[in-house]
Amino acid sequence: MTLSDSDIDFLVATVAHAGTSEIMPRFRNLSASAISEKTSAVDLVTEADVLAEKQITAALLQRFPTAHIVGEEAYDADRSVIPALRDAPLAFVIDPVDGTFNFASGFPAFGTLLAVTVKGEAVAGIIHDPVMGDSIVSVKGAGAVLKRANGSEAKLRVAEPVGLSDMVGIFSWGHSHPDRRPVIAANMAKTKMALSLNCSAHEYWLVATGKLHFIGHEKLMPWDHLAGVLTHQEAGGYTVKLDGTPYRPGDTEGGILSAPDKESWKMLRRDILGL
């Protein structure tokens, strides 16, 4: 299946509407009962996550009634939805509020991620910032574009390659094996500046717009990465799994690293990850 321009416009509008109707009215306005822990005190879900995902899902199924839907908040009810991404003729992967800890804390670094896959290949991705109302839209083979709420648009390009000591980046070592965490954390001191945002949406936003040189993760869930990886690649960047193989819909193991180019990726894998 090929998505039309009107389909892409519909997806952008659907995500943006969830931001204005379900997410932003609850930002800094959540009661304690509207926030729940999932696996830990930093892995949260709020009523904004649940309601935004339901709204987006309903809109998608109305326009694409046979589509396969993978939503972060609905995942626990049916874990077979992720492996099914490898063969689904058309699928949508939703993270309604990526960076829920930030959202629940009143910190404005969160976003909505939506990826589209066709027969095991990511073909479109949207990263939406509900706070500013801006979106990054990527389409396979057509590049990545920043669409501002004021109507302006700009083509995206990743940062130029630089030496390790001049790099600014993020590696989310909190999900690494405990034996590897101190190694990665210490090696990050070799860079110019190390950040931590706890939000894949803004991490991919920054690396695709050339503000960061690299990002990396060892936890792979499709709602965190599919839209962002396609966006980084369409902005000219190099993203593959830590073993050098392509990242595919349905992959949940192996870690991932995004860099300006292949040589930078090799350097980061060696000098930061020690692999």
Q: What is the pLDDT of residues 87-115, one digit of tens each?
A: 999 999 999 999 999 999 999 999 999 99
Rounded distance between C-alpha atoms, residue 270 and residue 55, angstroms: 43
Looking at residue 168, its pLDDT comes to 98
Under the banding of pLDDT at 50, 70 and 90, the label for residue 77 is confident
Both tokens of 180, joined, read 């590897």
How far is CA 256 from each of CA 4, 102, 118, 218, rounded to the nearest angstrom? Answer: 30, 23, 21, 6
Looking at residue 83, its pLDDT comes to 96
CA dihedral 185, 187, 192, 195 (to 10 degrees): -20
Is 198 in contact with 88 (CB distance < 8 Å)?
A: no
Looking at residue 40, its pLDDT comes to 78
H helical segments located in 44-170: 47-63, 100-105
Both tokens of 112, joined, read 């909505």
Is 68 in contact with 81 (CB distance < 8 Å)?
A: yes
pLDDT tens figures, 38-72: 877 777 899 999 999 999 999 999 999 999 999 99
Is 99 in contact with 113 (CB distance < 8 Å)?
A: no
Residue 129: strand, helix, or coil? strand
**Average model confidence (pLDDT) across the chain:** 96
Query: CB-based contacts of 108: which residues, under 8 Å, 6+ apart?
Result: 27, 102, 131
Only one residue has tokens 């926030």, namely: 35
Count Cβ atoms within 10 A of the Cβ of residue 182 and give its class: 0-12 exposed, 13-18 middle, 19 or more buried.
exposed
Q: Phi and psi for 224 in degrees, rounded to 5?
A: -80, -25
Closest CA to 169 of 161, 178, 157, 177: 161
Rounded distance between C-alpha atoms, residue 83 and residue 95, angstroms: 17
Q: pTM of the prediction? A: 0.96
Which residue has better confidence, 137 or 37?
Answer: 137
Q: Which amino acid is at 45?
A: V
pLDDT tens figures, 117-160: 999 999 999 999 999 999 999 999 999 999 999 999 999 999 99
pLDDT tens figures, 189-214: 999 999 999 999 999 999 999 999 99
Closest CA to 73 of 97, 42, 101: 97
Span 80-88, average pLDDT: 96
Rounded distance between C-alpha atoms, residue 106 and residue 119, angstroms: 38
DSSP state of 246: P
